[in-house]
Amino acid sequence: MLREEIFTSIQQGGGEFKQALFHGLQIRDEEKEAILSSLSGGHHLLILGPPGCGKTVVANRLSSILADIEVVEDCPLNCLPSSPTCPWCLAKMSQGKSSTVRILPASERVKRVQGGGELVPEDLIGALDPDTALREGIYSVLAFSPGKLLRANRGILLIDMIDRMPERVLNTLFYALEGGTITIGAYDEKIPLDILVLATGNEKVLGLLPLGILEYFDVITLGYVDDATREKELVLANLAEVQPGEMLAETIVDKAVDVVGRTRTHAEVDRGVSTRGTLRYTELMSTFQEIKDVDEGELLRAGAFPSLPHRLELAPHADLPGKREKIIEEILDQVLGAEGEEEIGLSKEDMLALVEEIASDAKFRIPLRSGAFDMLLKRVQYHSDSKLAQLMQQMMQHLEELYPERFRADNITEEMLLDLDEVRKREERIERMRRELEREALAQSLEYLERCKILEHTGFGWELSRKGINLLLERLTPKLWGRSYVSGYGRHSTGKRLSIGEGREVGTRHFRFGDRYRDISLKESIREAIHNRREEITKDDIMVTTKDIRAKMDMILLVDLSGTMRQLAKLWYAKQSAIALSLAASRYGDRVGVVSFSNLAGVVVDITANPHRLTRRIIDLDLHVNAFTNIGYGIMKATELFGHHRRGRANQHIILISDGDANVPHPSPQKYALRQAAGAARKGITISTVCINEESADPELMRRIARIGKGRTYFVGAESLTSTLIEERMAAHSSG
């Protein structure tokens, strides 16, 4: 049995085997032990991690645990000479053919499969061989050429990037893992398998693969080297091996490792440069150094731009043309910048929380926007638990350390305390210095945020910069799509057909009248003709590729700004949900606009696919105190806004958010709202409503509006608005 062979090999190999397996890889000891323990138990193993972390290298080296074995000559399933039981061996025996023995090298006991859209079940199971079929007959099992899954019997099947395998291929693998057997349907043969599956995938694979597949794997996650010293050692060892010439100076290696490390903590980067990227970066610099004599800064820049930007995975809101190069330029400027005064440092999490506070809290946002410095200082002093106050406290301590002669109270000598009047003067001076220090600290805090490009100075005050908007988007981005399979064709783990595809090829089907000729798959058509036992391709054999096509959608968020939205931070939740909706919609090419209403209604932001533009406009949205709720006028304004845009192929949809009932215009505000909803519906615009649970709410009116608009109604708390809007967007696509 394969399991006993692997266990014995690992036990006998001892420390030498472990050292050879993980040589040159910076993997933690607990991860090494987990890999060896899983293999010793004969478990299928799934190694996850970002690109360049060494998972494929480990998987390839694991084949060294196998040894050469005796097998039946020309047996595709590697049968034991003492018991040849596979259908191919039995068929040859029935024809009176004798079997011979050969030695199967360990390297041939490993079959490799590369995940990709072109992979089909026949690659694993096998298919009819036309030449053999003509010689042996199409009903002979000898005419069937086994695939890699069967040929890996008594060995290892190595699957690289299992998350890229089409679902039909995953289903084939699932059946093999579930029962340890595989069925060849056309020949009604059930074949037992003795096989170990080693698979690799990225860190998001747990959210993409069906649970039924994951049940059969032990999962081990590898990551990047998180220690600069260890990464430096890895770089130096690699340079000594691949670049025997002049070595890079250690100061250059230190700065290269620092550059790469900063890409992994940058606010706009979801995944930084890998360990492999660090090695390639330093190799390239070593080559540049031999070609041309340049200084340290030029060398770091010369190697950075060809080797680093394309290895960055940006956050969805920051993924713009040229952004990767700008991030690398910014990091290089930080690493190579002249050393000046030491500054305070904020963690990324603190920076995100500070940006959200500035955007969400009117008591800070309004004086910042208007440049009311004294008002801002008083509010920061009063709200000492705020993030901005904490930053100011850090800056005060920093200033006291930098300029003790200006701000330290203990500079007053004991002689000054001899007279009571001097005591009073000392207290006045301390208070005066304290006020001066607070003003200076707040001013320096704002300058610090400007240097960090979080705030930018306008003609009157400060507002969030583009980087600040990016940080806010990262803070508010719902991670809902990170664990969802977004293909829209075929049967998925939910058992349903989804509607949010990305235009990817997801399968094949038979040709239908009206299909485009360029979608015809010649490879699949030939396979189908062979499967149907035809010598020529007929119309019934023609196959076309299928894609997860989806319709575009324009959405307008209709937000209530009447006074009741002040309670429980409902307006901020509404803003947050609008930003999240815009970000989710832009991922699939949808567009979002915002219309606000109270006594009347107005367009806050026109329909756009740019989440930055929407965020910039909606942050400064304020309530209309003591205002009425004119739902009907809001619907009319949204309908007019749709009229300014060509409908094209996009569906048009309104999402109404309110916590109160319609109370203007008189004499019948409810009927007015329903008439406007009916007018929108006649123009093909659908309407859904989100009613925030309140005593003043009118759920019946919201239901009737949604019924007229052929949409849905939600009754939620303010804190659930974001997830509700994401759910509604999905539902609107499904019904559109």
Q: Per residue in 572-625, pLDDT tens?
A: 888 888 988 888 888 777 899 999 999 999 999 999 988 888 988 888 888 887
pLDDT of residue 411: 52
What string of DSSP letters covers 679-716? HHHHTT-EEEEEEE--TT--HHHHHHHHHHTT--EEEE
pLDDT of residue 481: 43
Q: Per residue in 217-234, pLDDT tens?
A: 888 888 777 778 888 888
What is the fold, at CATH topology level, of the domain defined by 228-336? Helicase, Ruva Protein; domain 3 (1.10.8)
Indicate if the pLDDT at residue 408 is higher than 70: no
* Mean pLDDT of all residues belonging to the chain: 81
**pLDDT-derived band of residue 491, with 50, 70 and 90 as boundaries?**
very low
Quick one: 682 exposed, middle or buried, by C-beta within 10 A (0-12, 13-18, 19+)? exposed
Highest mean predicted confidence (pLDDT) among 66-75, 84-93, 131-140, 499-508: 66-75
Query: Domain 2-68+105-221, CATH 3.30.540.10 — does that match?
Result: no
pLDDT of residue 410: 53
Residues of the chain with CATH 3.40.50.300: 2-68+105-221
- Angle at 696 (CA atoms; ends 693, 701), nearest 5 degrees: 80
| Phi, psi for residue 548 in degrees, rounded to 5 | -85, 80
pLDDT of residue 406: 64
Contacts (Cβ under 8 Å, ≥6 apart) of 518: none
Given a contact cutoff of 8 angstroms between Cβ atoms, the answer to whether 704 and 559 are in contact is no
49-58, 387-396, 438-447: which range is least confident on average?
Answer: 49-58
Q: Burial code of 90-113, b = ≥16 C-beta within 10 A, e = fewer? A: eebeeeeeeeeeeebeeeebbbeb
Q: Which helix (H) or strand (E) holds 20?
A: helix 2-21
Q: Per residue in 512-567, pLDDT tens?
A: 887 888 888 888 888 888 888 888 889 889 999 877 656 788 999 999 998 777 66
Structure tokens belonging to residue 496: 């349903």
**pLDDT-derived band of residue 407, with 50, 70 and 90 as boundaries?**
low
376-385, 664-673, 688-697: which range is least confident on average?
Answer: 688-697
Give the bridge partners for 601, in sequence order. Answer: 597
**pLDDT-derived band of residue 484, with 50, 70 and 90 as boundaries?**
very low
**pLDDT-derived band of residue 363, with 50, 70 and 90 as boundaries?**
confident
Indicate if the pLDDT at residue 500 is higher than 70: no
Q: List the one residue out of 543, 540, 546, 509 whose CA is nearest residue 523.
A: 543
pLDDT of residue 339: 47
Q: List the one residue out of 645, 641, 665 whose CA is nearest residue 654.
A: 641
Read off the amino acid at residue 135: R
Residue scoring higher pLDDT (713 or 210): 713
Q: Classify strands 686-692 and 713-716 as parallel, antiparallel or unpaired.
A: parallel
**pLDDT-derived band of residue 679, with 50, 70 and 90 as boundaries?**
very high
pLDDT of residue 421: 57
| Cβ atoms within 10 Å of 589's Cβ, excluding its own | 13
Contacts (Cβ under 8 Å, ≥6 apart) of 361: 386
Indicate if the pLDDT at residue 47 is higher than 90: no
Question: What is the Cα 315 distance to its own chain's centre?
Answer: 7
% the chain with pLDDT above 70: 87
Q: List the one residue out of 701, 645, 655, 692 whose CA is nearest residue 558.
A: 655
Residue scoring higher pLDDT (303 or 408): 303
Q: Which residue in this structure is represented by tokens 């995940």?
A: 115
128-142, 281-295, 388-402, 641-655: which range is least confident on average?
Answer: 128-142
Whether the model pTM is above 0.85: no
pLDDT of residue 415: 56
Q: Per residue in 328-342, pLDDT tens?
A: 998 998 888 744 445
pLDDT of residue 603: 94
Indicate if the pLDDT at residue 319 is higher than 70: yes
Q: If you count DSSP H runs as helices and E runs as strands, how many of each does the chain have, helices first?
A: 29, 23
Question: What is the Cα 284 distance to its own chain's centre?
Answer: 29
> Three-state SS for 556?
strand
Distances (CA, A) of 374 to 370, 379, 430, 649: 11, 9, 20, 53
Contacts (Cβ under 8 Å, ≥6 apart) of 230: 26
Residue scoring higher pLDDT (116 or 685): 685
43-47, 217-221, 468-472, 662-666: which range is least confident on average?
Answer: 468-472
Residue scoring higher pLDDT (241 or 736): 241
pLDDT of residue 642: 94
Query: What does the H/E/C string look like for 274-326?
Result: CHHHHHHHHHHHHHHHHHCCCCHHHHHHHHHHHHCHHHCEECHHHCCCCHHHH
Q: List the one residue out of 618, 624, 591 whose CA is nearest residue 605.
A: 618
What string of DSSP letters covers 479-546? GGGGGS----SS--TTSS--S---S-EEEEEE--TT--GGGB-HHHHHHHHHHTT-SS--GGG-EEEE
Tell me: cis bond preceding 667? Omega within 30 of 0 counts.
yes
Q: Per residue in 69-110, pLDDT tens?
A: 999 988 988 898 888 888 888 888 888 888 889 998 888 888
Residues of the chain with CATH 3.40.50.410: 553-735
Overall average pLDDT of the 316-338 stretch: 82
**pLDDT-derived band of residue 244, with 50, 70 and 90 as boundaries?**
low
DSSP state of 627: -
**pLDDT-derived band of residue 662, with 50, 70 and 90 as boundaries?**
confident
**pLDDT-derived band of residue 649, with 50, 70 and 90 as boundaries?**
low
Query: What does the H/E/C string look like for 134-189?
Result: HHHCCCCHHHEEECHHHHCCCEEEEEECHHHCCHHHHHHHHHHHHHCEEEEHHHCE
Measured distance between the N- and C-terminal CA atoms of the chain, rounded to whole angstroms: 55
Q: At what angle do helices 348-360 and 362-370 cross, to 10 degrees?
A: 80
Given a contact cutoff of 8 angstroms between Cβ atoms, the answer to whether 202 and 164 are in contact is no
Structure tokens belonging to residue 70: 């005796």
What is the fold, at CATH topology level, of the domain defined by 553-735? Rossmann fold (3.40.50)
Given a contact cutoff of 8 angstroms between Cβ atoms, the answer to whether 171 and 157 are in contact is no
Q: List the one residue out of 616, 619, 736 whose CA is nearest residue 684.
A: 736
Residue scoring higher pLDDT (141 or 566): 141
